[in-house]
Chains A and B, each alone.
Chain A
């Protein structure tokens, strides 16, 4: 262990809604070594830590297309529908989303409130 070669601390992505944070290695639409794959938004990307293969990537989050809030991809924090929306903006403009999404969100809300009760 050579002490002189201290690495630059990794860049950290932090979700501004839930606080989840994790180091990321790339920000953009074309993560390295992903070949034919293109991301449809600018994302915070890291190596998939749960895959033994080096080249598998994992998208951590991106910025909300409306308010530019930095959000993770967890369904509680954001939603992708042709663009990334943070949950705050989704709720604000819920009426513009197709009913499938509205129904889904309503169902989830119901479930989570149920979970909170029990």
Chain B
């Protein structure tokens, strides 16, 4: 029963018996470095392909839309690491690039003419993609949690 659980959690908190681990606090503080000034945040949107993330039986698609841009991300988890094959459309223009970010690692990719990009070997956990385009505000996807 959730109410009892909250009571007990409050008691544990008051007793200091389950303190927040240091690495969780440190990760929260470091997260501040992930903010993107003036960015527009793209929420998830419906797409025809199945949602989600798959393991060995093929990728799952997640779509985000904002500021006239659509991000389609095919996310695959294999061997404990994440691969992302994505497309931004319509093409955001010459000189655009994407940052594929996790709290611990950011990989930058120029966009192909088709708007496609790919990264491999990201650590599992929280993931977001930011599209930087000359002359316009960057667009970032909402953070999504990717775990095997």
- Do A and B interact? no
Binding site for B on A (CB under 8 A): none
